[in-house]
Chains A and B, each alone.
Chain A
């Protein structure tokens, strides 16, 4: 896959101060296509798909939802807090708006933390974009697959 004009536009909208204060790329200076390709390789080499990862994160977020934003223990392992803010966040890919509000997950076994939201899940599912390195929303595909027990589809 090559960097297309559409990806150029998306990458521009991912810069700090465009759609969100800190943007989506952290201190990652690579082209968007390279970020997507490298994460895509990490996912494919483990025999899973972006859709599986996105579905799992959406499921965790749904289980952790509480209308008063209290901590929820999910699956006896994850401490999940879902913020629910008013308003919407436009996708940098220009394909829709997503409700604001972050899902914060702490894994009690590894103590690792994950931060994502509806837009993050959409970008993983549709584009295989896991945010740039250094972004507070960066999700390492390998860590997601390991922590959330995502198995190759044939094994499921």
Chain B
């Protein structure tokens, strides 16, 4: 019996000693000191304490690489090109990287641990992405499952956006959510609005950020926004524009239209807004008024449901678009809505004669 107890004591002692040894080793050897991160060949240099992930280290220094999973290695979005350092590619990265990307040293920034000086390259526009500590000025019920939220910028702060771009709203930890979580939303306010940013947000069941907005966010609350991002914006041509939106997809077109008005752009534009029933429509009066005031702009709400008592177009938005044009050979298409709606609209527009490279959309995917 004594021998058994002695053996247990010895084992416990060895385990304890090994644990202490590991802790001491971690303290000395896992202390990477200050590391330099060179971005875009010297455009920006950051000196940061090593040990964290590249994604989080960059965001602590206000360089934001978009990510859909918050750095959990699950989405594969936070890619950057690594010119120096970063260690070998991890098995957790390879499912998200093509052969071409692997050959070109593209990595997932959330999987790179900063242990040494690193040189990376990221799209130039990400360097102008900023974080804004805003105040919720108003929350408006636009439909039964869509809210409009106006975020007031801090005094003296401005955001430079291209109409059509999106921004990430960061929900703080709440209930069972232990980490800040961000999701992308198209900006609905005009770029010249220096005071606030409008977002249009549809409730997503089981969604972390939309549930936060619908059940927790109140007027007067602080809210963090990061952006702007995206390359969905009006191209500089003289072609006739076809705008098509469904649900919360109306947001970027509101921004684009006000921008066109302010800049005196008078390209002939038709905005098709598809919904199922009257309860799904919003901002109709606002767009109808713009349509009255500007002869180059036409607003076409369309309802696909069987509801009576309205004079809007009837049918699927794709059918309404198709029957509105004899040909589309001098047009550009701009789409915003669900992936299914976008795919269906692309088919209609290409069949009408618009080349696919002149159809623009942002699926957030």
Residues of A bordering B, CB below 8 Å = 13, 15-23, 65, 67-70, 82-88, 90-92, 94-97, 99-102, 136
Q: Which of A13, A19, A99 is the most central at the interface, judged by chain B CB atoms within 10 Å of its CB?
A: A19
The answer on a CB contact under 8 Å between B365 and A21 is no
Interchain CB contact (< 8 A) of A21 among B206, B248, B316, B340: B206
Instruction: State A84–B365 Cα separation when bound (angstroms).
Output: 13
Interchain CB contact (< 8 A) of B363 among A13, A65, A86, A136: A86
1/0 contact string of B301-312 vs chain A (CB within 8 Å): 000110000000
For A21, what are the chain B residues with a Cβ–Cβ distance below 8 Å?
175-177, 206-208, 211
The answer on a CB contact under 8 Å between A68 and B275 is yes
For A17, what are the chain B residues with a Cβ–Cβ distance below 8 Å?
173, 175-179, 208
For B365, what are the chain A residues with a Cβ–Cβ distance below 8 Å?
86-88, 97, 99
In this assembly, does B75 line the interface, its C-beta being within 8 Å of a C-beta of chain A? yes
Known: A17-B208, A67-B317. A84 touches B75 (CB 8 A): no
Size range of the interface on B?
35 or more
Q: Which of A17, A21, A97 is the most central at the interface, judged by chain B CB atoms within 10 Å of its CB?
A: A21
Q: Which of B73, B92, B205 is the most central at the interface, judged by chain A CB atoms within 10 Å of its CB?
A: B205
Instruction: State A13–B69 Cα separation when bound (angstroms).
Output: 10
1/0 contact string of B183-216 vs chain A (CB within 8 Å): 1100000000000000000101111100100000
Chain B binding surface SS class: loop
Q: How far is the CB of B69 from chain A (nearest CB, A)?
A: 4
Q: How far is the CB of B362 from chain A (nearest CB, A)?
A: 8
The answer on a CB contact under 8 Å between A88 and B364 is yes
In this assembly, does B338 line the interface, its C-beta being within 8 Å of a C-beta of chain A? yes
Q: How far is the CB of B342 from chain A (nearest CB, A)?
A: 9
The answer on a CB contact under 8 Å between B76 and A85 is no
Instruction: State A92–B69 Cα separation when bound (angstroms).
Output: 10
Q: What are the nearest 3 A-B pairs in CB distance?
A: A90-B74, A84-B338, A17-B177
